[in-house]
Amino acid sequence: MSLKSSEETVASGMLSKRERFGFTMLFAAAVGFGLAPSCAKLAYGAGAEPLTLVAARFGLCLFAIGVMIRIRRTSLTIERGLFVGSLVMGCLLVWNAVGYLSAVKHIPVSLAAALFYTFPVQVGVISAISGTESLSRRRAAALILAFIGVLLSVGFGANIIDWRGVLLALGAGTGVAVSSVLFSRLANVGNSFVLVFWAVLMASLLSSVLMISTAGPQLPNNEIGWLGFTVSMLGFSFALVTYYLVLPLVGAVRAAITANLEPVIAIIVAVAILHEQPNVLQIFGIILILGGVFLVRRGVPRGIT
């Protein structure tokens, strides 16, 4: 099913079986992404470094995609244009991770997360400009509603802002937006596995080179740290692979909106594992995010390809 027919199927507000499956997998991906930050913090507290975890994550992603391709007996041969596009995506994946992790060195994590999660709004704008998908009033309202919810749910608290962190976080969000739209335009149900394989291969190689050329492998030094490292690695790897594989099923804009569930789940996990206490604004933000997800799943207009 093409992206255009997928959008036409839901013109009346109904979702096809394929799209329902796509949204289910996106929710599972949101759980994986939501688990990753708190578990990563446990690993960092035990001596692990972000670049080591990033390289491990992409290495596991590469292994998982390779196994899937072997089981499906999928050829790795693709057109030159698609191959180049997948390599660009791989570089963007590394930039997204490194930019976000570098941002939190200069500004509070809450502010970095709020800026990073502008990517759904950026996806909507980029998709409309490129003609990939339409940006109706209802969809625009859903984007804005969900984004406001993200701002409230992650919270603020910085008195002094380092603009290096601001630019890094916004840039990482832009990388996610560009890679989402690029993959949505390049991929279909038949070639998505191959595109993701080459993108993740590039990301794995690049992140490994960055890790080795800096401080080298920095691993946890206790059991709690290893547990956090492992869960963060598994959760992120599953979520990343799943997110990009189901993009052709639901479209970049709706996938990006549904991905806003990640901070909601991340807050819940942080409360359970790190004993953080969400305030009233964060709870209200969670409600707004869920409202945005509901809006974007209902009454989606005819798409533009």
The DSSP secondary structure of 60-127, one letter per residue, reads HHHHHHHHHHHHHT------HHHHHHHHHHHHHHHHHHHHHHHHTTTS-HHHHHHHHTTHHHHHHHHH
CA geometry: angle 97, 242, 144, nearest 5 deg: 70
Residue 79 makes CB contacts below 8 A (sequence gap 6+) with: none
Q: How far is CA 54 from CA 14, 50, 208, 267, 302, in A?
A: 38, 6, 8, 21, 38
Let me know: does 23 contact 179? Beta carbons within 8 Å. no
How much is the pLDDT for 67? 85
CB atoms within 10 A of CB 263: 28
Residue 299 is given by DSSP the state S
Let me know: does 118 contact 170? Beta carbons within 8 Å. yes
Angstrom distance (rounded) from CA 154 to CA 110? 5
How much is the pLDDT for 161? 67
How much is the pLDDT for 109? 65
Could you tell me the end-to-end alpha-carbon distance of the chain, in angstroms, rounded to an integer? 13
Between helix 192-213 and helix 163-186 the angle, nearest 10°, is: 150
What distance lies between CA 139 and its chain's CA centroid? 19
Angstrom distance (rounded) from CA 262 to CA 210? 27
Let me know: does 153 contact 264? Beta carbons within 8 Å. yes
User: Could you list the mean pLDDT of each consecutive 10-residue stretch along the chain, which spans 305 residues?
Assistant: 47 68 87 83 86 92 85 80 87 88 70 73 76 74 81 61 80 87 72 82 94 91 94 88 77 69 78 76 76 61 31
What distance lies between CA 190 and its chain's CA centroid? 22
For the entire predicted model, the pTM comes to: 0.73
How much is the pLDDT for 208? 95
Q: What is the 3 state secondary structure string of 201-227?
A: HHHHHHHHHHHHHCCCCCCCCCHHHHH
pLDDT tens, position by position, 186-237 = 766 567 778 888 889 999 999 999 999 988 899 999 999 999 999 989 998 8
Query: Which of 9, 29, 28, 4 shows the shortest CA–CA distance to 19?
Result: 9
